[in-house]
Amino acid sequence: MKKIKLKIAGLLLLLLSYNGISGQSINTDKNIEHISLKGNSVFPEGIITLPNNDILVGGFGDGSIQRIDKDNKVSFFSEPGQNGMVIAVGFHLDVKNNRLWVANFNFKTESGNPGSQFKVFDYTTGKLLKTIPEKFIEGTFFNEVTMDSDGKVFVSDTFGPHIWSTSFESANASTFVTNDLLKNPEQPFGLNGLTITPDRKFLIASVMNRTIKGGGRLVRIDLANKKVTPIELKNDNAVDSFSGSDGMFFHKGQLIIVNVYSSSGAIFTANFNKDFSEATLQIKDKYQSVYDRPTASTIRNGKFYTVNSQLNHIIDDKDGKMNTPPVLPFQVVSVPLKDLLK
């Protein structure tokens, strides 16, 4: 616990004092787009595509939510520090109700402890609709967010082996499931990626082994009985390079994954058997060179958009970049989806 507090304190100090440098190199491949974001301390983490094809990007470093329109013009959906946002992590869209769910994390709440809550916006107007709960839930690190068919929202807790749940009608959040399969006993940050299967029967969660190549896990949670079981991973080469998922989502029945140990393959896919108890992993490395500590991706008009978070400059990934300035401007990179998934 002492080590975790020291890391948190160091990260907070860096976020408060960081000034940054500029001069990001640009790949000349005409199929690759780089979109520059606003601000010198964004450290973009989450990304999602709205029904009108605007893209939203969340700032881990400044709590902003930035909008990328169809012409790649960038503006603020929610400015840094606005709407009580501190650290924007995972996103989820409730398209039926025009709602954007955001995991809002704070390394240092009023009590001095880390904590989390949800922010719920009307994504058509940008209006903040609700904060759940009003006070941060201490000791939690809400990360990736998903929702079932009934409007029940789930979020992974990176500080513990818990998945929390709530709904728009609720005033609070509660633990949906706790299980030792959802933690990494060797590292302070464990549970991360979370999504729901296309048949809406299971949650798929991922446990990180963030600073080591390999050792990542995918886990299946049965929504009917809350039973947690490990998913058998196949394809040894990819399994040995998989350190766990950050952002992940299903696309045409296939799970697309951002690998947290990106140097061993940033983008993976997983193809499952019928009951989601087995998954064959594949590394999709055609555009490996364009990624700089990516954390999440989305799709728009046949292109695959990924945030280059550069979080290894403020979170120790054991690659020597901790406490060094990131390359500016922070960027979202897009590549042709069909080429990536070949």
- Please calculate the CA angle 130-131-136 and round it to the nearest 5 degrees: 175
pLDDT in tens, 149-166: 999 999 999 999 999 999
Take residue 44 and report the two structure tokens written for it. 């973009």
Maximum C-alpha span of the chain = 52
Provide the 3-class DSSP secondary structure of residue 5.
helix
4: left (phi over 0), alpha (psi -120 to 50) or beta: alpha
Could you give the count of Cα atoms lying within 13 Å of 235 in the half-sphere of its Cβ?
A: 14
Residues facing 82 on adjacent strands: none
Q: What is the pTM of this model?
A: 0.93
Given a cut of 70, the residues of the chain with pLDDT beneath it are 1-28
Candidates 182, 181, 219; CA nearest to 202 is 219
At 29 the pLDDT is: 83
At 12 the pLDDT is: 53
Do residues 58 and 102 make contact, with C-beta atoms less than 8 angstroms apart?
yes
Take residue 329 and report the two structure tokens written for it. 């401007």
Enumerate domains of the chain plus CATH numbers: 2-340 (2.120.10.30)
Residues facing 122 on adjacent strands: 99
CA separation, residue 328 to residues 26, 33, 43 (Å): 11, 16, 10
Measured in residues, the chain has a length of 342
Take residue 132 and report the two structure tokens written for it. 């759940």
At 25 the pLDDT is: 42
Instruction: Identify the H or E element spanning 145.
Output: strand 142-147
